[in-house]
Structure 1
Amino acid sequence: MSAAPAPSPHGPPPPGRRQWLRARWADRHALPRFAFWLLSRGAAVLTVCAALYVLNGFLIGWANAYDVLTGITSPAAVRPQWCAWPLSLTGWAAIPAIIGAAAGYVITEQIQAHHARELDDVLDELRRLAEPPPPSSGSGV
C-alpha cells in the first residue's frame, strides 16, 4: 500500500492564472449593467468595428479609412470598394448604435439610482395625507 501525501501545513496552493481568469469572467454578472454590457456585447461590436477600420487602413489608407468611417468620403470614391462599404455602414449605423446604447445604459443607471422609495410607500403616504385630519379635542367653550 502506498501512503497518501501529507497535506501542506500552509493550506492549499494558490489558484493559477487560468482559475483566476475563469473566476473573474464568472464574476462579470455582478458588475453594473453598463459594465456588463461593455464586456459582453459591446466588446464584440467594438472589436468588429476596429477590425474593419484596421483592414481599411491598410488597404485604402488611414486617412481615407477615417473619412469613409465618418461619412466624409463616399465608399464609392475609394479603391478597393469591397472593404470600404462595410466600414461606411459601420460608421453610419453601428457606431451611433453603440453610443446610443452606452448613453441609454448610463441614463438608466442614473434614473434607477435616484429611485429612493418604492411605489407602495409613496401611495401609502399619499393615502395618509389625503385622509381628513382627526377632530381636535380643544376646550374652547
Structure 2
Amino acid sequence: MSTEPVSPPGGPPPPGRWQRLRAWWADRHALPRFSYWLLSRGAVVLTVCGALYVLDGFLIGWANAYNVLTGITSPADVRPQWCAWPLSLIGWAAIPAIIGAAAGYVITEQIQAHHARELGDVLDELRRLAEQSDPPPSSGAHT
C-alpha cells in the first residue's frame, strides 16, 4: 500500500516544476528590499559585468582582464582595446555602484530593524511616567 497522498478523481494535478518556479518568481515582491533588488536589477547588472569579464578573459587574457577591471592596467595597454574599454568603465563605475547599492540596502534594513517604536509612543510614555512620579522635594531650606 502506498503512503503518498492520492488526489481525488477530478481534482487538480499537483503543480509541476515550471508552475512552482513561476509562483516563486511572482512572489519575489514579498522578499525584503535587498533580496528583491538583487534578484531583479542586481542580477541583470551582475550578469552583464560577468559576461563582459568572460569575453575579455578570452580575448585579452584572464590576468589582463582582471587588471583592467580593477584599474591596475590601462585599457590602452592591452590589445584588442575595443573590449577593454567597456570592461574598464564597468570596473570604474558599475562595480562600485553595485557595492554601494548593496551596502545602502543592508544598512537601511538594519536601521529599520532597530526602529522599534515611534517617537510619539516614546513621548507618550515619558509623559505618563512624569505624571505618575512624585513631585521633586523643594529646594528651599527652613531656617
State how 1:8-47 maps to structure 2 within 5 Å: 8-9=8-9, 11-47=11-47
Unmatched runs of 5 consecutive residues or more in structure 1 = 1-6, 136-141
Q: Distance in 2 between matches of 1:31 and 1:131?
A: 44
AA at the equivalent of 1:38? L
Tell me the CA shift for residue 19 of structure 1. Answer: 1.2
Tell me the CA shift for residue 132 of structure 1. Answer: 8.8
What's the Cα RMSD here? 2.2
Give % identity. Answer: 86
AA at the equivalent of 1:100? G
Q: CA offsets per residue over residues 89-135 of structure 1, 9 Å max, x none?
A: 10011111111111111111111111111222012123335559566
Q: Distance in 2 between matches of 1:24 and 1:53?
A: 30
State how 1:1-141 maps to structure 2 within 5 Å: 8-9=8-9, 11-129=11-129, 133=133
AA at the equivalent of 1:9? P
Q: Distance in 2 between matches of 1:85 and 1:131?
A: 69
Q: Distance in 2 between matches of 1:84 and 1:31?
A: 36
Secondary structure of the residue aligned to 2:122 is helix
Q: CA offsets per residue over residues 37-67 of structure 1, 9 Å max, x none?
A: 1000100000010011011001101100000
